[in-house]
Chain A
Amino acid sequence: MNEFYQKDIISVKDLEKPQFEKIFAATDRIIQMDPNERRELGRGKTLGYLFFEPSTRTTLSFQAAMALIGGTSIGISDVSLSSTKKGESLADTLRMMSIYSDILALRHSLDGSSRFAAEISSKPVINAGSGTEEHPTQAIQDLYTIKKEKNKIDGLKIGIIGDLKYGRTVYSLLYALANYDVDIRLISPESLKIRSDSIYEIQKKLSLKESTNLEEYIDELDVIYVTRIQKERFPDEEEYQKVRGSYKIGLDVIQKMKENAIIMHPLPRIDEISTDVDNTPQAKYFKQAEYGKFTRAALLGLILNQNGF
Protein backbone atom coordinates (compact mmCIF):
# COMPACT_ATOMS: atom_id res chain seq x y z
CA MET A 1 0.00 0.00 0.00
CA ASN A 2 1.34 3.39 -1.01
CA GLU A 3 0.59 5.98 1.67
CA PHE A 4 1.02 8.92 -0.68
CA TYR A 5 -1.72 7.84 -3.07
CA GLN A 6 -4.10 10.78 -3.66
CA LYS A 7 -2.57 12.64 -0.70
CA ASP A 8 -1.77 16.36 -0.57
CA ILE A 9 1.76 17.60 0.05
CA ILE A 10 1.16 20.81 1.95
CA SER A 11 3.89 21.23 4.52
CA VAL A 12 7.17 19.63 5.56
CA LYS A 13 5.68 19.72 9.03
CA ASP A 14 3.34 16.93 7.92
CA LEU A 15 6.24 14.67 6.93
CA GLU A 16 8.44 12.58 9.18
CA LYS A 17 11.59 10.60 8.58
CA PRO A 18 9.85 7.44 7.27
CA GLN A 19 7.99 9.52 4.68
CA PHE A 20 11.15 11.30 3.57
CA GLU A 21 12.93 7.97 3.27
CA LYS A 22 10.08 6.52 1.20
CA ILE A 23 10.23 9.46 -1.20
CA PHE A 24 14.01 9.10 -1.45
CA ALA A 25 13.71 5.40 -2.21
CA ALA A 26 11.08 6.14 -4.85
CA THR A 27 13.41 8.76 -6.35
CA ASP A 28 16.21 6.20 -6.56
CA ARG A 29 13.83 3.91 -8.44
CA ILE A 30 12.69 6.71 -10.78
CA ILE A 31 16.31 7.39 -11.73
CA GLN A 32 17.07 3.74 -12.42
CA MET A 33 13.83 2.89 -14.17
CA ASP A 34 13.59 2.06 -17.82
CA PRO A 35 12.22 5.22 -19.54
CA ASN A 36 9.25 3.35 -21.05
CA GLU A 37 8.31 1.90 -17.71
CA ARG A 38 8.73 5.32 -16.10
CA ARG A 39 6.36 6.92 -18.59
CA GLU A 40 3.62 4.53 -17.53
CA LEU A 41 3.45 6.22 -14.11
CA GLY A 42 1.88 9.39 -15.42
CA ARG A 43 0.36 8.20 -18.67
CA GLY A 44 -2.92 9.94 -19.42
CA LYS A 45 -2.57 12.15 -16.36
CA THR A 46 -2.49 15.93 -16.26
CA LEU A 47 -0.72 18.17 -13.80
CA GLY A 48 -2.43 21.52 -13.35
CA TYR A 49 -0.12 24.20 -12.03
CA LEU A 50 -1.28 27.52 -10.66
CA PHE A 51 1.53 29.97 -10.03
CA PHE A 52 0.24 33.17 -8.51
CA GLU A 53 3.82 34.19 -8.01
CA PRO A 54 6.11 33.67 -10.95
CA SER A 55 8.85 31.10 -10.49
CA THR A 56 10.30 29.90 -13.74
CA ARG A 57 12.49 27.30 -12.11
CA THR A 58 9.85 25.63 -10.01
CA THR A 59 7.37 25.64 -12.91
CA LEU A 60 9.94 24.07 -15.20
CA SER A 61 10.92 21.52 -12.60
CA PHE A 62 7.31 20.39 -12.19
CA GLN A 63 6.74 20.28 -15.94
CA ALA A 64 9.95 18.32 -16.50
CA ALA A 65 9.01 15.93 -13.71
CA MET A 66 5.54 15.33 -15.13
CA ALA A 67 7.00 14.78 -18.61
CA LEU A 68 9.50 12.30 -17.18
CA ILE A 69 6.68 10.07 -15.95
CA GLY A 70 4.76 10.43 -19.20
CA GLY A 71 2.16 12.96 -18.12
CA THR A 72 1.05 16.34 -19.39
CA SER A 73 1.08 19.74 -17.72
CA ILE A 74 -1.29 22.64 -18.11
CA GLY A 75 -1.45 25.78 -16.06
CA ILE A 76 -1.05 29.42 -15.33
CA SER A 77 2.45 30.58 -14.54
CA ASP A 78 1.80 34.29 -14.59
CA VAL A 79 -0.75 35.98 -12.41
CA SER A 80 -1.35 38.72 -14.97
CA LEU A 81 -2.97 36.14 -17.25
CA SER A 82 -5.07 34.75 -14.48
CA SER A 83 -8.75 35.33 -13.97
CA THR A 84 -8.12 36.35 -10.36
CA LYS A 85 -7.13 39.70 -11.80
CA LYS A 86 -10.75 39.95 -12.85
CA GLY A 87 -11.85 39.26 -9.31
CA GLU A 88 -12.21 35.48 -9.33
CA SER A 89 -11.46 33.95 -5.97
CA LEU A 90 -8.60 31.55 -5.44
CA ALA A 91 -11.21 28.98 -4.46
CA ASP A 92 -13.00 29.20 -7.82
CA THR A 93 -9.74 29.12 -9.78
CA LEU A 94 -8.83 25.97 -7.87
CA ARG A 95 -12.19 24.37 -8.52
CA MET A 96 -11.78 25.00 -12.24
CA MET A 97 -8.26 23.63 -12.28
CA SER A 98 -9.27 20.50 -10.41
CA ILE A 99 -11.79 19.78 -13.18
CA TYR A 100 -9.07 19.92 -15.83
CA SER A 101 -6.33 18.01 -14.03
CA ASP A 102 -5.53 14.95 -11.94
CA ILE A 103 -3.12 16.69 -9.59
CA LEU A 104 -2.44 20.34 -8.76
CA ALA A 105 0.69 22.32 -7.95
CA LEU A 106 0.11 25.70 -6.34
CA ARG A 107 2.44 28.60 -5.71
CA HIS A 108 0.91 31.50 -3.82
CA SER A 109 2.21 34.39 -1.75
CA LEU A 110 -0.21 33.97 1.16
CA ASP A 111 0.64 31.74 4.10
CA GLY A 112 -1.69 28.78 4.39
CA SER A 113 -2.91 29.06 0.79
CA SER A 114 -2.02 25.45 0.03
CA ARG A 115 -3.87 24.01 2.99
CA PHE A 116 -6.90 26.01 1.95
CA ALA A 117 -6.44 24.79 -1.64
CA ALA A 118 -6.36 21.18 -0.49
CA GLU A 119 -9.71 21.65 1.25
CA ILE A 120 -11.25 23.18 -1.86
CA SER A 121 -9.77 20.95 -4.54
CA SER A 122 -11.18 17.55 -5.37
CA LYS A 123 -7.72 16.53 -6.62
CA PRO A 124 -4.52 16.22 -4.60
CA VAL A 125 -2.57 19.45 -4.14
CA ILE A 126 1.19 19.88 -3.99
CA ASN A 127 2.44 23.05 -2.38
CA ALA A 128 4.97 24.54 -4.81
CA GLY A 129 5.83 27.33 -2.41
CA SER A 130 3.45 29.31 -0.24
CA GLY A 131 3.82 32.41 1.88
CA THR A 132 7.12 33.02 3.58
CA GLU A 133 7.85 29.64 5.10
CA GLU A 134 6.63 26.69 3.11
CA HIS A 135 8.28 25.00 0.19
CA PRO A 136 8.07 21.27 0.89
CA THR A 137 9.20 19.97 -2.51
CA GLN A 138 12.31 22.15 -2.31
CA ALA A 139 13.08 20.69 1.12
CA ILE A 140 12.65 17.14 -0.21
CA GLN A 141 14.96 17.96 -3.10
CA ASP A 142 17.52 19.51 -0.74
CA LEU A 143 17.56 16.54 1.62
CA TYR A 144 17.82 14.11 -1.27
CA THR A 145 20.79 16.07 -2.63
CA ILE A 146 22.55 15.87 0.72
CA LYS A 147 21.82 12.15 1.00
CA LYS A 148 23.14 11.38 -2.47
CA GLU A 149 26.17 13.63 -2.37
CA LYS A 150 27.23 12.91 1.22
CA ASN A 151 25.84 9.35 1.39
CA LYS A 152 24.04 10.23 4.61
CA ILE A 153 22.24 13.00 6.44
CA ASP A 154 22.71 12.00 10.09
CA GLY A 155 25.90 13.24 11.66
CA LEU A 156 26.52 16.10 9.25
CA LYS A 157 27.27 19.70 10.09
CA ILE A 158 25.18 21.92 7.86
CA GLY A 159 25.64 25.67 7.43
CA ILE A 160 22.81 27.77 6.01
CA ILE A 161 23.98 31.12 4.78
CA GLY A 162 22.39 34.37 3.64
CA ASP A 163 18.87 35.69 4.04
CA LEU A 164 17.43 33.43 6.69
CA LYS A 165 14.61 35.75 7.63
CA TYR A 166 12.76 35.97 4.35
CA GLY A 167 14.00 32.81 2.63
CA ARG A 168 11.07 30.43 2.46
CA THR A 169 13.32 27.51 1.53
CA VAL A 170 15.26 27.95 4.77
CA TYR A 171 12.30 27.30 7.06
CA SER A 172 11.17 24.25 5.13
CA LEU A 173 14.71 22.90 5.06
CA LEU A 174 15.11 23.35 8.82
CA TYR A 175 11.85 21.58 9.56
CA ALA A 176 12.88 18.74 7.27
CA LEU A 177 16.34 18.50 8.85
CA ALA A 178 14.78 18.37 12.31
CA ASN A 179 13.92 14.74 11.50
CA TYR A 180 17.62 13.92 11.36
CA ASP A 181 20.55 14.06 13.72
CA VAL A 182 22.37 17.07 12.32
CA ASP A 183 24.31 20.06 13.60
CA ILE A 184 23.08 23.34 12.14
CA ARG A 185 24.94 26.63 11.78
CA LEU A 186 22.89 29.62 10.73
CA ILE A 187 25.04 32.35 9.24
CA SER A 188 23.44 35.65 8.32
CA PRO A 189 23.65 39.39 8.80
CA GLU A 190 22.05 40.57 12.03
CA SER A 191 19.06 42.04 10.20
CA LEU A 192 18.36 38.81 8.29
CA LYS A 193 18.54 36.34 11.17
CA ILE A 194 15.99 33.55 11.35
CA ARG A 195 12.64 34.41 12.99
CA SER A 196 12.85 32.33 16.14
CA ASP A 197 9.08 32.08 16.60
CA SER A 198 8.89 30.43 13.21
CA ILE A 199 11.11 27.56 14.30
CA TYR A 200 9.49 27.33 17.73
CA GLU A 201 8.42 23.72 17.27
CA ILE A 202 11.83 22.40 16.28
CA GLN A 203 14.10 24.56 18.39
CA LYS A 204 14.44 21.88 21.05
CA LYS A 205 15.03 19.13 18.50
CA LEU A 206 17.74 20.90 16.55
CA SER A 207 21.31 21.40 17.55
CA LEU A 208 21.70 24.93 16.29
CA LYS A 209 24.10 27.85 16.55
CA GLU A 210 23.94 31.27 14.96
CA SER A 211 26.67 33.57 13.73
CA THR A 212 27.06 36.64 11.58
CA ASN A 213 30.52 35.57 10.53
CA LEU A 214 30.98 33.02 7.74
CA GLU A 215 34.63 32.49 8.73
CA GLU A 216 33.64 31.23 12.15
CA TYR A 217 32.36 27.85 10.99
CA ILE A 218 33.43 27.52 7.36
CA ASP A 219 36.21 24.99 8.02
CA GLU A 220 33.97 22.55 9.89
CA LEU A 221 30.90 22.42 7.64
CA ASP A 222 29.98 19.37 5.55
CA VAL A 223 27.23 21.16 3.68
CA ILE A 224 27.12 24.84 2.82
CA TYR A 225 23.64 25.92 1.80
CA VAL A 226 23.73 29.39 0.26
CA THR A 227 20.65 31.56 -0.22
CA ARG A 228 20.10 34.80 -2.04
CA ILE A 229 20.44 38.12 -0.25
CA GLN A 230 18.01 40.46 -1.94
CA LYS A 231 18.70 44.12 -2.30
CA GLU A 232 15.11 45.04 -1.41
CA ARG A 233 15.65 43.80 2.13
CA PHE A 234 18.07 46.59 2.94
CA PRO A 235 17.33 50.20 3.81
CA ASP A 236 20.29 51.53 1.84
CA GLU A 237 22.68 50.52 -0.91
CA GLU A 238 25.79 50.84 1.23
CA GLU A 239 24.55 48.38 3.85
CA TYR A 240 23.56 45.94 1.12
CA GLN A 241 26.96 46.10 -0.59
CA LYS A 242 28.75 45.52 2.72
CA VAL A 243 26.65 42.48 3.62
CA ARG A 244 26.71 41.03 0.14
CA GLY A 245 30.49 41.02 0.03
CA SER A 246 30.94 39.23 3.32
CA TYR A 247 28.75 36.27 2.40
CA LYS A 248 29.98 35.70 -1.10
CA ILE A 249 31.33 32.25 -1.91
CA GLY A 250 34.40 32.43 -4.13
CA LEU A 251 37.45 30.27 -4.65
CA ASP A 252 39.03 31.86 -1.56
CA VAL A 253 36.21 30.47 0.57
CA ILE A 254 36.52 27.05 -1.09
CA GLN A 255 40.12 26.95 0.15
CA LYS A 256 38.93 27.24 3.73
CA MET A 257 36.27 24.55 3.41
CA LYS A 258 36.63 20.86 4.18
CA GLU A 259 37.80 19.17 1.01
CA ASN A 260 34.72 16.97 0.72
CA ALA A 261 32.20 19.63 1.70
CA ILE A 262 29.41 20.44 -0.75
CA ILE A 263 27.86 23.77 -1.76
CA MET A 264 24.13 23.96 -2.40
CA HIS A 265 21.83 26.76 -3.52
CA PRO A 266 18.08 26.67 -4.27
CA LEU A 267 18.66 28.90 -7.35
CA PRO A 268 18.36 31.33 -8.98
CA ARG A 269 21.61 32.79 -7.76
CA ILE A 270 22.57 36.38 -8.37
CA ASP A 271 26.19 36.60 -7.30
CA GLU A 272 26.30 34.89 -3.90
CA ILE A 273 28.43 32.19 -5.51
CA SER A 274 30.93 33.33 -8.10
CA THR A 275 30.84 31.46 -11.39
CA ASP A 276 34.41 30.19 -11.04
CA VAL A 277 33.16 28.01 -8.18
CA ASP A 278 30.85 26.17 -10.62
CA ASN A 279 33.58 23.85 -11.84
CA THR A 280 34.88 22.86 -8.44
CA PRO A 281 33.97 19.41 -7.08
CA GLN A 282 32.20 21.10 -4.16
CA ALA A 283 29.61 22.84 -6.35
CA LYS A 284 26.41 20.77 -6.28
CA TYR A 285 23.71 23.33 -7.03
CA PHE A 286 23.05 22.27 -10.60
CA LYS A 287 23.05 18.66 -9.51
CA GLN A 288 20.56 19.77 -6.85
CA ALA A 289 18.28 21.18 -9.57
CA GLU A 290 18.49 17.87 -11.43
CA TYR A 291 17.61 15.96 -8.27
CA GLY A 292 14.65 18.33 -7.96
CA LYS A 293 13.22 17.00 -11.18
CA PHE A 294 13.59 13.40 -9.98
CA THR A 295 12.21 13.96 -6.48
CA ARG A 296 9.18 15.76 -7.95
CA ALA A 297 8.69 12.97 -10.47
CA ALA A 298 8.81 10.45 -7.62
CA LEU A 299 6.29 12.41 -5.63
CA LEU A 300 3.93 12.79 -8.59
CA GLY A 301 4.30 9.09 -9.35
CA LEU A 302 3.51 8.12 -5.76
CA ILE A 303 0.46 10.37 -5.53
CA LEU A 304 -0.93 9.16 -8.86
CA ASN A 305 -0.34 5.41 -8.50
CA GLN A 306 -2.22 3.45 -5.90
CA ASN A 307 0.28 0.62 -5.71
CA GLY A 308 3.35 2.80 -5.93
CA PHE A 309 6.18 1.66 -8.13
Chain B
Amino acid sequence: MQESNLIVRRIKDGTVIDHIEGGRGLKVLEALGIDGKDGNVITIALNVPSGKFSKKDIIKVENKFLQDFDTNKLAVISPKATINIIKDYKLVEKRRVFLPNKIEKIFRCSNPDCITNSNEDIESTMDVIDKTGLILRCKYCTRILDVNQLKYC
Protein backbone atom coordinates (compact mmCIF):
# COMPACT_ATOMS: atom_id res chain seq x y z
CA MET B 1 0.00 0.00 0.00
CA GLN B 2 1.25 3.44 -0.90
CA GLU B 3 2.25 5.83 1.81
CA SER B 4 -0.33 8.41 0.81
CA ASN B 5 -3.15 5.99 1.30
CA LEU B 6 -2.16 5.45 4.91
CA ILE B 7 -2.27 9.09 5.85
CA VAL B 8 -6.00 9.48 5.76
CA ARG B 9 -8.40 6.82 6.86
CA ARG B 10 -10.39 4.67 4.52
CA ILE B 11 -13.92 5.78 4.01
CA LYS B 12 -17.04 3.68 3.62
CA ASP B 13 -19.05 5.97 1.35
CA GLY B 14 -18.05 9.21 -0.22
CA THR B 15 -15.62 10.90 -2.56
CA VAL B 16 -11.86 10.98 -2.56
CA ILE B 17 -10.35 13.83 -4.53
CA ASP B 18 -6.81 12.77 -5.21
CA HIS B 19 -3.84 14.24 -7.05
CA ILE B 20 -4.78 17.81 -6.29
CA GLU B 21 -1.84 20.00 -7.15
CA GLY B 22 0.11 20.62 -3.92
CA GLY B 23 -1.13 23.73 -2.14
CA ARG B 24 -4.46 23.90 -3.93
CA GLY B 25 -6.44 21.73 -1.56
CA LEU B 26 -7.95 24.60 0.39
CA LYS B 27 -8.95 26.36 -2.82
CA VAL B 28 -10.70 23.17 -3.92
CA LEU B 29 -12.71 23.12 -0.70
CA GLU B 30 -13.66 26.74 -1.22
CA ALA B 31 -14.70 26.15 -4.84
CA LEU B 32 -16.82 23.15 -3.95
CA GLY B 33 -18.36 24.91 -1.01
CA ILE B 34 -17.29 22.12 1.32
CA ASP B 35 -17.24 23.62 4.79
CA GLY B 36 -18.19 20.73 7.05
CA LYS B 37 -21.43 22.35 8.11
CA ASP B 38 -23.43 19.31 7.04
CA GLY B 39 -21.71 17.30 9.74
CA ASN B 40 -20.01 14.77 7.47
CA VAL B 41 -16.42 13.82 8.16
CA ILE B 42 -13.96 15.59 5.90
CA THR B 43 -10.33 14.65 5.90
CA ILE B 44 -7.76 16.88 4.31
CA ALA B 45 -4.15 16.05 3.66
CA LEU B 46 -1.84 18.72 2.34
CA ASN B 47 1.61 18.33 0.85
CA VAL B 48 1.54 14.57 0.64
CA PRO B 49 4.68 13.32 -1.13
CA SER B 50 3.75 12.12 -4.59
CA GLY B 51 6.33 10.56 -6.81
CA LYS B 52 9.94 11.55 -6.36
CA PHE B 53 9.75 15.30 -6.60
CA SER B 54 6.23 16.55 -6.17
CA LYS B 55 3.56 17.00 -3.56
CA LYS B 56 -0.15 16.63 -3.74
CA ASP B 57 -3.19 17.37 -1.64
CA ILE B 58 -5.94 14.87 -0.93
CA ILE B 59 -9.50 15.50 0.24
CA LYS B 60 -11.90 12.85 1.47
CA VAL B 61 -15.51 13.75 1.87
CA GLU B 62 -17.66 11.13 3.51
CA ASN B 63 -21.24 10.46 2.46
CA LYS B 64 -21.07 12.82 -0.45
CA PHE B 65 -20.77 11.91 -4.12
CA LEU B 66 -19.40 14.63 -6.35
CA GLN B 67 -21.31 15.39 -9.52
CA ASP B 68 -19.95 16.40 -12.92
CA PHE B 69 -20.83 19.98 -12.21
CA ASP B 70 -18.45 20.01 -9.25
CA THR B 71 -15.84 18.25 -11.31
CA ASN B 72 -15.83 21.09 -13.79
CA LYS B 73 -15.02 23.51 -11.03
CA LEU B 74 -12.05 21.40 -10.03
CA ALA B 75 -10.64 21.35 -13.51
CA VAL B 76 -9.93 25.03 -13.35
CA ILE B 77 -8.15 24.86 -10.01
CA SER B 78 -6.37 21.57 -10.33
CA PRO B 79 -6.61 20.00 -13.78
CA LYS B 80 -4.78 16.80 -12.77
CA ALA B 81 -7.07 15.92 -9.87
CA THR B 82 -8.95 12.62 -9.93
CA ILE B 83 -12.33 11.89 -8.46
CA ASN B 84 -12.85 8.55 -6.77
CA ILE B 85 -16.33 7.55 -5.77
CA ILE B 86 -16.34 5.05 -2.93
CA LYS B 87 -19.32 2.91 -2.01
CA ASP B 88 -19.13 0.36 0.75
CA TYR B 89 -15.32 0.67 0.91
CA LYS B 90 -15.05 -0.11 -2.77
CA LEU B 91 -13.93 2.16 -5.56
CA VAL B 92 -16.95 2.19 -7.85
CA GLU B 93 -15.98 5.02 -10.12
CA LYS B 94 -12.78 6.82 -10.95
CA ARG B 95 -12.76 9.81 -13.22
CA ARG B 96 -10.45 12.53 -14.30
CA VAL B 97 -11.63 16.09 -14.08
CA PHE B 98 -12.57 17.56 -17.39
CA LEU B 99 -12.02 21.14 -18.36
CA PRO B 100 -15.18 22.31 -20.12
CA ASN B 101 -15.30 24.86 -22.92
CA LYS B 102 -17.47 27.02 -20.77
CA ILE B 103 -17.44 27.71 -17.05
CA GLU B 104 -20.69 28.85 -15.57
CA LYS B 105 -21.55 30.27 -12.18
CA ILE B 106 -18.19 29.52 -10.57
CA PHE B 107 -16.18 32.70 -10.67
CA ARG B 108 -17.15 36.30 -10.50
CA CYS B 109 -15.82 38.38 -13.40
CA SER B 110 -12.99 40.53 -12.11
CA ASN B 111 -14.13 43.53 -14.14
CA PRO B 112 -16.19 45.65 -11.74
CA ASP B 113 -17.94 47.33 -14.70
CA CYS B 114 -19.07 44.02 -16.18
CA ILE B 115 -22.83 43.55 -16.55
CA THR B 116 -22.49 40.26 -14.62
CA ASN B 117 -21.52 42.29 -11.55
CA SER B 118 -24.59 44.53 -11.82
CA ASN B 119 -28.03 44.08 -10.28
CA GLU B 120 -29.32 42.45 -13.45
CA ASP B 121 -30.50 38.86 -13.28
CA ILE B 122 -27.55 37.27 -15.04
CA GLU B 123 -25.13 34.41 -14.36
CA SER B 124 -21.42 34.67 -14.86
CA THR B 125 -20.25 32.70 -17.88
CA MET B 126 -16.67 32.30 -18.98
CA ASP B 127 -15.27 30.75 -22.12
CA VAL B 128 -12.12 28.69 -21.79
CA ILE B 129 -10.05 30.04 -24.66
CA ASP B 130 -6.81 28.21 -23.85
CA LYS B 131 -7.07 24.87 -22.08
CA THR B 132 -3.36 24.35 -21.54
CA GLY B 133 -2.58 27.90 -20.50
CA LEU B 134 -5.88 27.99 -18.60
CA ILE B 135 -7.04 31.31 -19.95
CA LEU B 136 -10.64 32.32 -19.40
CA ARG B 137 -12.61 35.08 -21.04
CA CYS B 138 -15.81 36.56 -19.72
CA LYS B 139 -18.58 35.83 -22.20
CA TYR B 140 -20.14 39.24 -21.62
CA CYS B 141 -17.39 41.82 -21.20
CA THR B 142 -14.83 39.64 -23.07
CA ARG B 143 -12.06 40.45 -20.59
CA ILE B 144 -9.26 37.95 -20.32
CA LEU B 145 -9.25 36.65 -16.76
CA ASP B 146 -6.49 35.32 -14.58
CA VAL B 147 -7.82 32.20 -12.89
CA ASN B 148 -5.60 32.65 -9.86
CA GLN B 149 -7.08 36.02 -9.08
CA LEU B 150 -10.72 35.15 -9.54
CA LYS B 151 -13.19 35.16 -6.69
CA TYR B 152 -15.99 32.64 -6.39
CA CYS B 153 -19.59 33.59 -7.02
> Using a CB–CB distance below 8 Å, which chain A residues touch chain B?
11, 13, 89-91, 109-113, 115-116, 131-134, 197-198, 200-201
Contact = CB atoms under 8 A, between A and B. Distances in A.
A111 B111 contact: yes
B56 to A, nearest CB: 32
Interface residues of B, number: 17
B105 interface: no
A111 B144 contact: no
Given A110-B113, A111-B115, A132-B113, A116 B122 contact: yes
A198 B115 CA distance: 17
Given A111-B114, A113-B140, A201-B144, 14 more contacts: A11-B142, A13-B142, A89-B120, A90-B115, A90-B118, A110-B115, A110-B118, A111-B113, A112-B139, A112-B142, A115-B115, A115-B140, A116-B140, A134-B142
Interface string B108-135: 0001011110111110000000000000
B91 interface: no
Contact of A112 (B119, B121, B138, B144): B138
B141 interface: yes
A210 to B, nearest CB: 20
Contacts of B111: 111
A187 to B, nearest CB: 25
Contacts, number: 51
A112 B118 CA distance: 11
Contacts of B140: 111-113, 115-116
A131 B138 CA distance: 14
B32 to A, nearest CB: 27
A290 to B, nearest CB: 30
Nearest to B122: A116
14 contacts: A89-B119, A89-B120, A89-B121, A110-B118, A111-B111, A111-B141, A111-B143, A112-B115, A112-B140, A112-B141, A115-B140, A116-B115, A131-B113, A131-B141
A79 to B, nearest CB: 14
A110 B143 CA distance: 13
B144 A197 contact: yes
Contacts of B119: 89
- The interface centre, meaning the residue of A112, A116, A132 with most chain B CB atoms within 10 A of its CB, is A112
B113 to A, nearest CB: 5
Contacts of A89: 119-121
Nearest to B137: A201
Contacts of B122: 116
Given A89-B119, A90-B120, A91-B120, A115 B139 contact: yes
B144 to A, nearest CB: 5
Interface in B85-114: 111, 113-114
A133 B49 CA distance: 47
A111 B114 CA distance: 5
A113 B115 contact: yes
Contacts of B115: 90, 110-113, 115-116
Which of A89, A116, A201 has the most chain B CB atoms closer than 10 A to its own CB? Answer: A116
- Find the residue from A110, A111, A134 having the highest chain B CB count within 10 A: A111
A132 B122 CA distance: 20
A200 B144 CA distance: 8
Contacts of A91: 120-121
Q: Which 8 A-B pairs have the closest CB atoms?
A: A112-B140, A111-B141, A112-B141, A112-B115, A110-B115, A116-B115, A113-B115, A200-B144
A109 B138 CA distance: 17
